[in-house]
Structure 1
Amino acid sequence: MSTSSGDIELATLLRSEDKEGDAQTEGPLSEEQGSHEECLQPQENESSSVLSSESSDNAPKEQDRRRCFLDLHLLPVKLYYFIFMLGAGCIFPFLTVYFRFVGLSASQNGIVQGIRPFVNCVATPLWGMVGDKLGKVRVIWIVSTFNFIAFTAILGLIGPSSVTKAIHQGCNCTSVEANFSISEVLDSFNLTLASLCEEVEENRIDAEVSKFLQLAIIVAIGEFLAAPTLALADHFAMQALGNERKGDYGKQRLWGAVGWGLGAVGGGYVADGETPCDVKYTMLFIIFISVSSLGIIAAFFVCPSKTLSSPVKDKEKNEKELLPFIQRFKAIFSNPNIIAFLIAIWTLAMFMILIDNFLFWFLQDLGANQTLLGLSLAFTCMGEVPVFFISGRVIARIGHSGVVYIVFLAYALRFISYSFLSNPWIVLAIELLHGVTFALLWAVSTLYARHIAPPGLEASSLSIVSAVYWGLGRGCGGILGGIAWERYGARTTFRGAAVMAVSGCILYWAFCQLRAAMKRGLISFSACRSLCKKSNKYIVHVDNGETS
């Protein structure tokens, strides 16, 4: 498997964490003299010297510190991921069922849930740019975390209407279906069946519309104000790791997977209790607020690593930052390698939301119970933890493009396995692949975003990657996946997604090979452009009825 120069640079960066530094830093990652596009792609012969940030005198001390089982400097990062995801895991897997309990129809539920990714797509890079421009990234991170907690808590105050409560009397909280005797209601109110049904239906529709508008507005505003929370958490995690230990990002992020898994299991235990529905959801929101609030405290103690900067690095960084802010920002999108990578993670995000939105529906059609659905979430987290732990070494071995190939093929394997599934319990083994399709992908996305970030735009770069994945990709995938599911059914949709995954892998591989050949001088850009022009002229001749 051939790798591009960007892969070699990123791999060299991650391998350097296992070696002792022998010389002073000669410059920051991805910075060298020349144009700004060259700054985004440093040469191979400079990468080893560029990526070292401490002298050989400090190397033994650094090695000793890494051997410690518990690094106190990184403890706040681990705590933030664990606490934040623990609180989110208590409530977010059950929001769809909660909205149904409040009185939303299936279509209204889908619209409310679909608002998040599209708002996230706009808000996350916007807040990242504001933070980089004003130099207030930490303030925005802490405030966005607070907004995330506050606006999620507000959702818990939007309880069901009186009409919905009447329908839910004696309900089963899992299915939230009406279970009352029409004859008893008729005897109580002495109404005809027709008039009663008409009145209840009118009141129900009015209540649904009212609750739908309230929830849609709260979700939209809350998502806009809280969108950069996780993207900026990744930014500060990378800062805390410093230049020497960027490959250890996965070892910090895995605590988020542990927290999410424990939160989902605990939340499911509360939701499956015998208490009334409104009491259950109130308990879940209270647990969420109590746990997640501790994450704000942890955020105050996250500090950048001492290896993050050096006098030489600061001097060169200041020189680069003399470029206009917008010009530095546009430089991110002027690199074909970056655009191709963003397209790849956009496609992979669509695959992920297809599974998130519709896998449980498919399993329920196969006869799966709530216990199995809860276990499937636990197995996805079990798959994430070890992959996050070894992600740095994997990326160092095969580079970012190699990881993207593997993730595409892992999604193809998941979709094919789903399409032939007959026993729902087999899904537990399939869900272990989530460690590859999400944990490995997100680890390389975070490292690559940091790697290609121009000076002073580290938060913006991570925000763009986050917006493409969590916003644009999941939003488009939710819509397209729903259309395919209704038109072609579950198994055909999964098989079609598997074909798309294999095709995506082939296309991304072909692009990487083309870029590598152009970089080695085997193919010139002018030759490619000339070939495209000749192809266009031929197409015009054919359209005009000519064959020459």
Structure 2
Amino acid sequence: MNMQKVNPHLIPIKGLYFLYYAGLSSFIPYKSIYQKQLGMSSGQNGFIQATMQLVSLFSPPIAGFITDKTKAYKVMMTVCMFFSIAFTIPFYFVPPIEREVLSTKILCCEEEVNSLLHCLPIDNASNVESCLNDVNAPFDVNFTHQPDCLSPNVTLNCKYSDSTDVYGSTFAILIALTMLMSFFLAPVTPLVDSSAMDTLGIENVKYFGIQRLWGAVGFGIVGLAVSYFTDVISPVEVYGLEAKNYILAVVSAGLFWGATIVLIITSIKITAPKAKAVLRGVGKLLIKPQVLAFIFVVLVSGFCTGVQYSYLFWYMTELNGFKQYILGLSLIVTCASEIPMFWFSGWICQKFGYVSVLALGLIAASIRFFTYTFITDAWQVLLVEGLHGISFALPNAAICSYAAVIAPKDATATLISISQTAYWGLGNMLGALLGGILYEAFGGVKMFRIVGAISVITAVLYEIIFGHLNLISYCYCCKDESKKEIEAEKRDSKTKIVKTPEEEQPLHEQENGVV
């Protein structure tokens, strides 16, 4: 039996995915709950996260235009990573919003006063009401002795928001840092994906998932480690109370992204999306209903991911038994579920078709969201996160591979960039923004149910309307007609990826040796 061997020319791509996503998992998953710790509401968090995705709509085309003019692909990638680090580290130093300190006597019939439902104010009643109305106001209660409903010897120490500072300096700093970090970070993902595709070649797109799974490995391992050690590290003081210390999160992001820069400089060939090709080559493709439907489904998938990334951890902090390490365990479960999906994504897409794979991803996301609404303890989320491989990894591999298959000549990187922008840019932005509005208006349970309904309806309609239109045969037919022209232009391109004789072998000769 022939064993698959690792192609040494693909090792830098695997390393690039590992380091880049390890840096992402160090801080990005915890950004929302860190902002909550600083005093942001769910609506404010949604606005901040939506701003992050809004910026990512514009920066990749700008980066593509600049690199088109300068041909300095590695320089652009290195600059983007460097400034991503430069604007991530300062998040640690953002001050919490100012809160007025309230100290008053209250009468409690029970010692369990986490919600203060069994307590009545004895003095400063209006201030106590202000405290209770601020959902983010931290408080502690000091009992001088066991309360018996007769002795008001209970002191409430509450820090509630000063209304003049809710959208003050803390909010402004978070917005500014988020925009700057996103501006430089957003172009990196499409550059990494397009470089992987160019290294593989159009005939080997089915191996893309095997490269991408190393990003899942890095994301899961490092995300769990950061979560665990954040629990271990000495806490910081916020509003006079103990809070999580996220110093390791921002430092880890800096270290892994720094290692990414070193790998880019020494070992990676970078291909930039071409701004002109967006108008020239892709314009004709985007008028086709099948392709428009594909972009729309990518957008809805990104919307679902935006909701999950922005509000799942937020939601978990409100469940019984919440511990920081549970967040890390959820990351390791999600990433473990990604690995087999990325590994077998090529076979699954060829077997069932891209339309069915994308529809399946939306259905899995819907099941996830509805299940979240029935759990009562934070650890139970771990039982659901195994669906992440089907709802995220499988459709993501399909999106990149499908974009490479249907791309017109000279526009592979550009169409990948468009699909990634629809997913991570506009889709994630809408998820963060509308998710925040829904969360603040109806709560987490109804928000997840609404998004789950949108997801499953989109999946069913997409499968019914486009699942039997033979889109895949159409795409491969188009690709076959121009395959020779595309390969010729790639050989003549100044950004040509030099391939070894082993890599130039036909696909059937590589199946036992290129992973």
Identify which of 219, 241, 262 aligns with 1:260: 219
For 1:117, which of 23, 36, 53 is the aligned residue?
A: 53
Match of 2:247 in 1: 282
Match of 1:67 in 2: 4
Offset from partner CA, 1:57-102 (integer Å, 9 cap, x none) = xxxxxx99x932x322111111111112212212222223333444
Q: Is the 8 A contact 1:88 1:288 kept in 2?
A: yes
Query: Is the Cα contact below 8 Å between 2:299 and 2:427 reproduced in 1?
Result: yes
1:67 aligned partner, one-letter code = Q
User: Which structure: greater helix fraction?
Assistant: 1
Equivalent position SS for 2:245: helix
- Report the CA distance shift for 1:102/1:418 in structure 2 as closer, same or farther (over 3 A): closer
Distance (whole Å) between structure 2 residues aligned to residue 269 and residue 208 of structure 1: 32
Return the alpha-carbon distance in structure 1 between the equivalents of residues 39 and 448 of structure 2.
31
Counterpart CA distance in 1 for 2:278 and 2:251 is 42
Change (3 A) 1:458 1:302: farther
Letter matched to residue 419 of structure 1:
T
Structure 1 letter corresponding to 2:88: T
Instruction: Answer whether contact 2:228 2:328 (CA < 8 A) is retained.
Output: no
Amino acid at match of 1:250: G
Structure 2 CA distance for partners of 1:482 and 1:96, relative to 1, 3 Å: closer
The structure with the larger Rg is 1
> 1:245 & 1:206 partners in 2: Cα distance?
55
Q: 1:516 to 1:133 in 2, by over 3 A?
A: farther
The answer on 1:245 being equivalent to 2:182 is: no
Deviation of 1:228 (Å)? 0.7
| Alpha-carbon offset, residue 124 of structure 1 | 2.3
Alignment map for 1:425-504 (pairs within 5 Å): 425-504=379-458
Structure richer in strand, relative to its length: 2
> For residue 313 of structure 2, what is the aligned residue in structure 1?
360
Q: Is the 8 A contact 1:132 1:457 kept in 2?
A: no
Task: Say whether the 8 Å CA contact 2:202–2:404 is kept in structure 1.
Answer: no
- 1:213 matched to 2:172? The reply is yes
Q: In the alignment, which residue of structure 2 is the partner of 1:222?
A: 181
- Return the alpha-carbon distance in structure 2 between the equivalents of residues 219 and 159 of structure 1: 15
Counting aligned pairs with the same residue, the percent is 29
Q: Distance in 1 between matches of 2:333 and 2:57?
A: 29
Q: Following the alignment from structure 2 to structure 1, what is the Cα–Cα distance between the partners of residues 53 and 277? A: 30
Give the direction of change, closer, same or farther, for the CA distance of 1:438–1:106 in structure 2 (3 Å limit).
closer
Give the whole-Å Cα distance in 1 for the aligned partners of 2:410 and 2:72.
Answer: 12
- Is residue 250–residue 392 contact of structure 1 (8 Å, CA) maintained in 2? yes
Contact 1:76 1:301 (C-alpha < 8 Å) held by counterparts: no
* 1:280 aligned partner, one-letter code: N
Contact residue 77 and residue 299 of structure 1 kept, 8 A: no
Structure 2 residue aligned with 1:44: none
Q: After superposition, give the CA deviation of every residue in 1:8-63 in whole Å (9 maximum; x if it has no partner).
A: xxxxxxxxxxxxxxxxxxxxxxxxxxxxxxxxxxxxxxxxxxxxxxxxxxxxxxx9
Gaps of 5+ in 2: 103-135, 143-156, 238-243, 475-515
Q: Separation in 2 of the partners of 1:325 and 1:272?
A: 46
Deviations 1:156-190 (A, max 9, x none): 343458x67999xxxxxxx9935599xxxxxxxxx
Report how many aligned residue pairs link the two structures.
417
User: Gaps (5+ residues) in structure 1?
Assistant: 1-62, 168-174, 182-195, 309-320, 521-548
The offset of 1:137, in angstroms, is 3.8
Map residues 126-275 of structure 1 onto 2, 5 A cutoff: 126-132=62-68, 135-160=71-96, 177=138, 205-206=164-165, 209-275=168-234
Change (3 A) 1:425 1:113: same
CA distance in 2, matches of 1:267, 1:73: 31
Provide the residue aligned with 1:189 in structure 2: none
Provide the rounded CA distance (Å) in 2 between the counterparts of 1:343 and 1:166: 49
SS for the counterpart of 2:410 is: coil
1:330 alignment partner in structure 2: 283
The residue type equivalent to 1:469 in the other structure is Y
Deviates more, 1:224-233 or 1:88-97: 88-97
Pair 1:300-2:257 in alignment: no
CA contact (8 A) 1:124 1:466 kept: no
C-alpha offsets along residues 293-333 of structure 1, whole Å, 9 cap, x if unaligned?
0001112344569xx9xxxxxxxxxxxx9x98732242242
Q: Map of 1:16-35 to 2, 5 A cutoff?
A: none
Provide closer, same or farther for how the CA distance between residues 295 and 366 of structure 1 changes in structure 2, counting only shifts above 3 A. same
**Residue 397 (structure 1) aligns with:** 351
- TM-superposed deviation, 1:336: 2.2
Shift of 1:437: 0.7
Contact 1:102–1:164, Cα closer than 8 Å, also in 2: no
- Are 1:350 and 1:474, in contact at CA under 8 Å, matched by a contact in 2? yes
Deviation sequence 1:123-159 (CA, Å, 0-9, x none)? 2234335445654444322322222222112323434
The alignment's TM-score, normalised by the length of structure 2, stands at 0.71
User: Does the Cα contact within 8 Å between 1:141 and 1:233 map onto a contact in 2?
Assistant: no
The question of whether the paired residues in 1 share the 8 Å contact of 2:333 and 2:382 is answered with yes
Give, in whole Å, the separation in 1 of the partners of 2:434 and 2:395: 22
